[in-house]
Structure 1
Amino acid sequence: MKEIHHRARVYSLFDVAQLFLSSRGSCRLHFVVEDSKPPLYRGRKDDCLFVTKEEAVAHFMQSEAFGKLYETDEVEADPPKGNFQVVAKCGISGEWLGPPNFHSYQSNLRRLHRERFSNMPFERYASKVRTERGEEAVNAWMESMKKRVRWRPVGGSDDDWTFERSEIEHDFLSRAFSDAYEETRKTELPGDTDARAMSEGVLAAASIAGSHTRRHPAMLIPTICRMLESDHLAIFKTKGKLYCGPARPHPLQDVDSLSERPAAIVKWLDDKERPKLGELWTALLPEGTEEPPKEWLVDLFWLLTQGHVLLFADDSMVLPKRSKQGGSPQPPAEGAKKPKKRKRKKRKRTSFKARRPSHAKLISQISRMNHGRLLALRGKSRLWGRRLSRRDKIRCLQED
């Protein structure tokens, strides 16, 4: 928008839409959840959005806000004892998980998936785990088990230290979850939000919406029009395409009323077909002039902001002109057939016709008639009267 104001150029709205879509930071992600579905969890202190509480807690444990509530300490511990031949290892992060027959193997596998790869299905993550055989692999796992991480709330006592991450997660859920996250059914996120700060389903929905919008940029044109109009920019249509610029096309009525330099620019553009800006300066300025003087730029800028000249993004220029009015019709030649006048069709006046009652209404009317009116029935009404009399549906016959 600043470029349109300062450079007074005309841009296609489709190009503006593509420009917005080329940068994720210029877009906003809008999420709405139906009332029948569970709400989303939006971070109060950072731009994150999750579907479940478990995903929100796993993100909090890896964020900078975790260090403000909990302390982390690494202590040495005795390695596990036993005869191990095979050791499992994460195929993505390279972290040791332990022997498959070790008592904490499944808990370590679940914990690592929950903490670092929760956006991946567990079966898919488990398929990437590989096993290594040999003394070197076992010793490497033993070394990793000599150091253990423990946690406690900030300002807690020595008795509050725990090696179980699940206890810290439970404490966070019961004590500080509502301060870090809020439930919402309608929210917005910046377009450049980190993929790790969103659930897998939310990220997939944003990716699908983004790819669909890039294939159909016309979806953004109504929103772009409102944005440009609020910034006092003109939107107009030329040759079937929408453009935005500093002003709408405004053809000049009298070129002679202009001063010398604007008149020279308009007269040079009058008989040209979309010339370039460089051709204008080459034709009007003396030879050897590298840059146009300031007074020429000021006069051209005035013509552009008034809509008397259009300067497009590709440096092509157009002089708006008034549409030519047709002359007086010429008389037909001798012997030529006169065009037949098209007769206007007269509308037929339709008389008001009473609507015929429906079957249900007709049956209701016949069932309440007396003997005299029953004998006067004709046509379909008489047939219905006979049917109702056989079924004992007429009140006057029931009384007799």
Structure 2
Amino acid sequence: MRVTVIPNIESVHLIVKEIHHRARVYSLFDLAQLFLGSRERYRLEVKVDPKRPALFHGKKDDCLFLTKEEAAAYFFQSDGFADFYESEEIETEPPSGNFQVVARCGISGEWLGPPNFHSYQANLRRLHRERFSNMPFDRYAAKVRTERGEEAVNEWLETMKKRVRWRPVGGDDDAWTFDRAEIERDFITRGFSEAFEEVHQTELPGDVSARAVSEGVLAAIRIAGSHARRHPAMIIPTICRMLESDHLAIFKKQGKLFCGPARPHPLVNFDELSERPAAIVRWLDANPDSKLEQLWKAVLPEGVEEPPKEWLVDLFWLLTQGHVLLFSDSTLVLPKKRAGGEGQPSKKAKKKKAKPAAEKPPAAKKKGGRKARDRKASVPPHAATVRKITRMKSGGLKKLRGKERLWGRRLARRERIDSLGDED
């Protein structure tokens, strides 16, 4: 199973709306930390190998289980139960008999009945399945305690005066039953496919309830969330795709990724601007990395504390065109062209236009080097084979095979070695 953290699309839309409204630039790393700061701001994509058994995902609510039994146990405690079955509580006669001991759940305090009562085991199994299925049954049964006395028996009898019965929605009066197991069997055979679907890939909200998923799924979710919070950069590629789909600009500055209303667009000539935008740009050019408050104090006339609407409109235009960048901490940056602007070749162009370096004079030949190479090249490739065969004894010559035997025959004909023994 693989669980991936994905930013919630509603949270992304809120960030996009904020950026378009305020024209500010945000760091993608800071946005990743923002999304991971609350479970409501991200979703969980759960995948399993298609060769593995499928998971059971609720069609009407976000639940996910590994087994059919876990899904059915959750269904009877969920709000979806009312869509399939209706229940009512009626008064009945308490059971009659001589009861001395009454069993009680040691965790919830719910009465289970006398151990010799006919529905005791059914009540015990039902309570374990509905409320304590994450605990082994033997361990749960060991926590059941028994109480003696008339008071305990009377208290249990009072609970038995009111009983709950169930029937399918729209059923007649004959469909009522007090047996919960009968309703569970009916749901498994008839209504399970309407409430759950088998999937190998699905999405869950980040704030999914712990009781709405299996223990194995819950463990994988917690591991994925903890890992993402320790390494927020792992969801930055997903954030980039989601922001670009909403027409936000993604750019890199000083090795870090940012998003804003527009990419940096350096101005070439400040004189082309009107009076107010030119005043803003000239002041930022002379005072780099200044705050927004410092800008208004410098460019506004004396006695004006709040910037007029026309100044705000001009600054907003500069921000949306990328001529000025306003970061989330109110820092203003004036983008500038890289070193070597117009009329000056860039570093890559300089490398291309640079004259090739003068060729180095050939290194002095080592004495005897040419003769050594010639001698080595003149040695034929079969010389080692001939030398090996001429040094072998008659016993070794008889064992020659393949190409070595062919060379042995040639050398024998030239009388350089003795006969191979089986040739003559």
Matches of 1:127 and 1:276, distance apart in 2: 68
Q: Paired residue for 1:193, among 204, 208, 226?
A: 208
Aligned length: 354
Give the secondary-structure state (helix, strand or coil) at the position aligned to 2:60.
coil
- Deviation of 1:170 after TM superposition, in Å, equals 1.0
- Deviation of 1:55 after TM superposition, in Å, equals 1.4
* Alignment match, 1:375: 409
Is structure 2 residue 242 aligned with structure 1 residue 227?
yes
Matches of 2:119 and 2:360, distance apart in 1: 95
Q: Paired residue for 1:239, among 237, 247, 254?
A: 254
Q: Please show how residues 120-139 of structure 1 align to structure 2 within 5 Å.
A: 120-122=135-137, 125-126=140-141, 129=144, 134-139=149-154
Matches of 2:85 and 2:124, distance apart in 1: 24
- Deviation of 1:375 after TM superposition, in Å, equals 3.1
Distance 1:341 1:130, change over 3 A: farther
Matches of 1:295 and 1:345, distance apart in 2: 73
Q: Paired residue for 1:212, among 227, 230, 242?
A: 227
The residue type equivalent to 1:83 in the other structure is F
Q: Paired residue for 1:47, among 62, 80, 85?
A: 62
Structure 2 unmatched ranges of 5 or more: 1-15, 346-356, 364-376, 383-399, 412-419
The residue type equivalent to 1:70 in the other structure is Y
* Alignment match, 2:394: none
Distance 1:126 1:276, change over 3 A: farther
Q: Paired residue for 1:89, among 102, 105, 110?
A: 105
Instruction: Name the TM-score, length of structure 1 as normaliser.
Output: 0.77
Is structure 2 residue 346 aligned with structure 1 residue 312?
no
- Deviation of 1:132 after TM superposition, in Å, equals 5.0
Q: For residues 131-156 of structure 1, what are the alpha-carbon distances to aligned partners after superposition, in whole Å with 9 as ceiling and x for unaligned?
A: 55554433222211222222222333
Contact 2:95 2:160 (8 Å CA) reproduced = yes
Give the secondary-structure state (helix, strand or coil) at the position aligned to 2:167.
strand
- Deviation of 1:5 after TM superposition, in Å, equals 1.4
- Deviation of 1:341 after TM superposition, in Å, equals 8.6
Contact 1:13 1:243 (8 Å CA) reproduced = yes
* Alignment match, 2:157: 142
Give the secondary-structure state (helix, strand or coil) at the position aligned to 2:44.
strand
Contact 2:99 2:153 (8 Å CA) reproduced = no
- Deviation of 1:11 after TM superposition, in Å, equals 0.5
Contact 1:91 1:130 (8 Å CA) reproduced = no
Distance 1:271 1:376, change over 3 A: farther
Distance 1:124 1:229, change over 3 A: farther
CA RMSD in angstroms, aligned pairs only? 3.5
Instruction: Name the TM-score, length of structure 2 as normaliser.
Output: 0.73
Q: Paired residue for 2:168, among 148, 153, 157?
A: 153
Contact 1:41 1:56 (8 Å CA) reproduced = yes
Give the secondary-structure state (helix, strand or coil) at the position aligned to 1:65.
helix
Distance 1:88 1:263, change over 3 A: same
Sequence identity percentage: 66
- Deviation of 1:314 after TM superposition, in Å, equals 1.2
* Alignment match, 2:82: 67
Distance 1:165 1:284, change over 3 A: same
Distance 1:341 1:159, change over 3 A: same
* Alignment match, 2:5: none
Distance 1:129 1:306, change over 3 A: farther
Matches of 1:142 and 1:245, distance apart in 2: 70
Give the secondary-structure state (helix, strand or coil) at the position aligned to 2:276.
helix
- Deviation of 1:229 after TM superposition, in Å, equals 1.6
Give the secondary-structure state (helix, strand or coil) at the position aligned to 1:41.
strand
Structure 1 unmatched ranges of 5 or more: 329-339, 357-365, 378-385, 390-396
- Deviation of 1:23 after TM superposition, in Å, equals 3.2
- Deviation of 1:83 after TM superposition, in Å, equals 3.1
- Deviation of 1:19 after TM superposition, in Å, equals 1.6
Contact 1:87 1:141 (8 Å CA) reproduced = no
Matches of 1:269 and 1:370, distance apart in 2: 87
Contact 2:167 2:175 (8 Å CA) reproduced = yes
- Deviation of 1:250 after TM superposition, in Å, equals 2.0
